[in-house]
Amino acid sequence: MGVDLSLIWAVIIIFGLMMYVVMDGFDLGIGILFPFVQEEGKRDVMMNTAAPIWDGNETWLVLGGAGLFAAFPLAYSVVLPALYLPIIFMLMGLIFRGVAFELRFKATQLKRHIWDKSFIGGSLCATFFQGVALGAFISGMPVEDRRFAGGALDWLTPFSLFCGVALIVAYALLGCTWLIMKTDGELQERMRKLGKPLVLLVLLMIGIVSIWTPLTHPDIADRWFTTPNLFLFMPVPVLVLLCTFFLLRSIRSEAHYTPFLLTLGLIFLGYSGLGISLWPNIIPPSVTIWEAAAPPESQGFALVGALLIIPIILVYTAWSYYVFRGKVTADDGYH
């Protein structure tokens, strides 16, 4: 067969995870920024900017898990055990936060602060362990006899913990610029003030990760610093710097939409840097998508459903965001 099913599935899963990072990223970011905004009314507005869509955002995470299981069962059965604890912690954070999101609106004034704390704690926990899982994934995992051959705490390294912190900062920036776009008045002003240090912090994080990664991962260093790759990858750091520059300028010039779009650009660049470092491995450092692939009978069977239904989900998602465009103010109460 001339069609490379593994390649198609890899694209679908990478796309799904990208959708997840972008969409759940900003609403996790809102939870991370909650401690910086104490007034209840403003917190209501913050939540209302994400309220109509957050649950839909998490569907991409489930789709990613199911897609990985269907198309690359070997990766599913090696990566998940290797990252067992961070993934379980992340899922628990997401559950807590999801329910807090809903029940906060329905709680009495007296109990609302409990749900606020759950929301903050859940968002931080989910984001941190997502970052830890990502860092441990980049670092790679030993595979023997088609099984994960490492230890229970292999994921616990300074590098992965740092990635956890870095992701918190990145999602906070996504949330911050999302709120600049979706709110006005005093809340927007406060987000602008937070914006500048957050951008610089994100740049610092990207810088540290970019130096740390090749230092501790010789195979990735090889990829980066040999010709012709070196020249092909050169645009990424340059674009990151350009992006940051325009991002800072757009926040200063009180633009509404541009900061969020540029943050998306920054996230996308980080994501592509990750792709460059790992492709075509699905279990770093050495198992490729083709080696981890399910038989074509399985990939083809599942692809029929995915190609039918994913476009419908995309159209509906786009429509929901489109209808929901514009600013959210304190008048748009939940009830």
Residues of this chain that bind other proteins (CB under 8 A):
48, 51-56, 58-59, 61-63, 65-71, 73-74, 76-81, 84-85, 87-88, 91-92, 94-96, 98-99, 102-103, 106-108, 111, 146-148, 152, 294-295, 297-298, 301-302, 305-306, 309-310, 312-313, 316-317, 319-320, 323-324, 332, 334-335
Q: Which is nearer to other proteins, 2 or 335 (CB)?
A: 335
How near is the Cβ of 51 to other proteins at its closest, in Å?
Answer: 6
CA distance 271 to 1: 31
Q: Considering only CA atoms, which of 95, 101, 25 is closest in space to residue 60?
A: 25
The count of other CB atoms within 10 Å of the CB of residue 16 is: 23
Q: How far is the CB of 42 from other proteins (least distance, A)?
A: 17
Q: How near is the Cβ of 213 to other proteins at its closest, in Å?
A: 26
Helix (H) or strand (E) holding 324: none
Nearer to other proteins, 64 or 135 (CB): 64
Nearest to 147 by CA among 78, 214, 86, 196: 78
Token couple for 295:
């038989």
Element housing 143 (H / E): strand 143-144
**Least Å distance between CB 16 and other proteins?**
11
Q: Between 73 and 237, whose beta carbon lies closer to other proteins?
A: 73
Phi, psi for 108 (deg, rounded to 5): -75, 165
Judged by CB, which is closer to other proteins: 111, or 252? 111
85 in helix, strand or coil?
helix
Shorter beta-carbon distance to other proteins: residue 82 or 198? 82
52: amino acid identity, one letter? P
